[in-house]
Structure 1
Amino acid sequence: MTISEYELRLKAYRLKRLDEQESIYQQAWANWQVQSTKQQGKKQVPVYSTFKKFFDKEKFENDILGIDSPNNTFKKDNKLIDLMKKANK
């Protein structure tokens, strides 16, 4: 292995460690968010009553896969769609 290859591998390792640190900080942030409370009357209640309200995996999966669900519908702009079709011809 040459010195330049070693330096490149070292840089890649440092970037990988940075990504791991970011993940740790994101976990800490999520932990703080899930423990947050709000005032309701005279008592404190959790902001997120269920895990699904905190992190809806199905919603993110549907967004990635391009699946429309009743909760994920949006108003389609037919005029914009027609303009894009004309532009792509």
Structure 2
Amino acid sequence: MTLTEYSTRMFAYQLQQVDRMNEIYLGAWANAQSKGLKEGDSYQNFFDYEKAIKEIYNPDGLDPDLLNIARRVQEFHQKQRKEVTNGGRLYNNSDSKS
């Protein structure tokens, strides 16, 4: 699995988690409504769905060291694939084939 595939799957998982949290909060909201709420209370104040989605699209606190490690691992795997396609040899454009 490439870094891009992993990132896409993690993004989808996080969106699923927000939907799951929304369902849980809706149940809690319905329970709170049945017990009676103060005037002016709204579900938006109870659970801010839009804010949770925005946090996934614009995450804060990504660890730059972890991102650098992931990029190096991805470059390493790309280099290995290139070696396999070159018959196990490394050569650059300056090498001539005769």
Higher relative contact order (CA 8 A, sep 6+): 2
Structure having the higher strand fraction is: 1
Q: Same fold (TM over 0.5)?
A: no
Structure having the higher helix fraction is: 2
Structure whose CA Rg is larger:
2
Q: Normalising by structure 1, report the TM-score.
A: 0.39
Q: Normalising by structure 2, report the TM-score.
A: 0.35
